Amino acid sequence: MSLEPTNWLSTKEAAAQLGVTSRTVYRFIDEGDLPAYKFGRVIRVKESDLEVFVEQCRVAPGSIGHLYPEGTRQP
């Protein structure tokens, strides 16, 4: 049984991959949406956990109709 090495990301690196601020990443972690690990004084995110998080955030077609006013929707 061989284990692949874990690729760890800093919160800054995770934020850059997501295109958000570090503060937003900390909020995702604090709300339990993104798993993270604390090693001493630093917080790290597994790259594989970040990939799962991204897939879970996928928007389903037809689920954001509430974001635009009725009548502006194109057929």
Tell me if 45 is assigned to some domain. Answer: yes
Is residue 39 a contact partner of residue 49, using CB atoms and an 8 Å limit? Answer: no
pLDDT digits (tens, 9 = 90+) for 57-70: 999 988 888 888 77
Tell me if 2 is assigned to some domain. Answer: no
Domain containing 40: what range? 8-56
Number of structural domains (the chain) is 1
Tell me if 75 is assigned to some domain. Answer: no
Tell me if 1 is assigned to some domain. Answer: no
Tell me if 69 is assigned to some domain. Answer: no
Helix axes 11-18, 47-56, angle to 10 degrees: 40
Tokens coding 44? 């790290």
Q: Give ∠ CA 15-22-56 in degrees, rounded to 5.
A: 50
pLDDT digits (tens, 9 = 90+) for 22-70: 999 999 999 999 999 999 999 999 999 999 999 999 999 888 888 887 7
pLDDT digits (tens, 9 = 90+) for 5-23: 999 999 999 999 999 999 9
For residue 72, pLDDT over 60 is answered with no
CATH code, domain carrying 50: 1.10.1660.10
